[in-house]
Structure 1
């Protein structure tokens, strides 16, 4: 697998991957792709994605997903590690996320569950926090 920066022509395939994984993607647009990474298989097909929505020293980690046919091979962990490294190099010190199905995975990666209201105002005002993710989604945070 090859991890690379997302390009504008990856937008449709990222949205399709998010839909396949029942993750919100209506707010994923070309402007966000500058902070997205994708995983390509040997044939060059995009089989995974992860993104950051940065707000100074905080960022919303979003759209971490892996195609079903390549799951359980560590790709999600690799994508997450790459996103964290990208965040660190951009001066981000804390990552926030919402999830309805992967809290256990993120806890195993040293994220801690926190009250959704404790997120910085900029993060809480994103469409993902304010509209797209249900109120019962777990909110997790990691200090980098």
Structure 2
């Protein structure tokens, strides 16, 4: 663990590692494909994946999905850095609003200026995603942030 943490764009080869890390934290993986990985930011150190975050874009709005940090690296700011990297990339790509669903991380996201919302507030394109329709339970907290 001597190297620095590096952030890079995801690639198709990251799919199995992503599924393993996400499933270990109880996050949905059923709809995750190799094509999604290009929209992920991966945090690594010495070749080991420490965390990741993904984005699904729909015009100028997007769904933040699959933020996960390996349990050995929690509490050191890696999650915040991943969110910041994703927000920066989203802003560069013309995304003006991010939405997410969470169970148990709403205080984390509130600390990053995300605001609770209702499912009815969510743009229709996002409500039609598998995360909103079936993968995330109905009691998941909906949050959003304008960039």
TM over 0.5: yes
Which of structure 1's runs of 4+ aligned residues deviate more than 6 A? none
The match for 2:21 is: 17
Instruction: Please give the alpha-carbon distance, in whole angstroms, between the structure 1 residues aligned to 2:25 and 2:72.
Output: 12
User: What are the residue-to-residue correspondences of 1:74-113 with 2, within 5 Å?
Assistant: 74-113=77-116
| Alignment partner, residue 50 of structure 1 | 53
Say whether 1:37 aligns with 2:41.
Answer: yes
With the length of structure 1 as denominator, give the TM-score of the two structures: 0.98
Gaps of 5+ in 1: none
Q: How far apart, in 1, do the equivalents of 2:11 and 2:60 lie? A: 24
Output the CA distance in 2 between the equivalents of 1:122 and 1:33: 20
User: Could you tell me how far apart the structure 2 residues matched to 1:118 and 1:133 are?
Assistant: 17
1:26 aligns with 2:30: yes
TM-score of the pair, normalised by structure 2: 0.96
CA shift, 1:61, in A, is: 0.1
For structure 2, the 5+ residue unaligned runs are: none
- RMSD in angstroms over aligned alpha carbons? 0.6
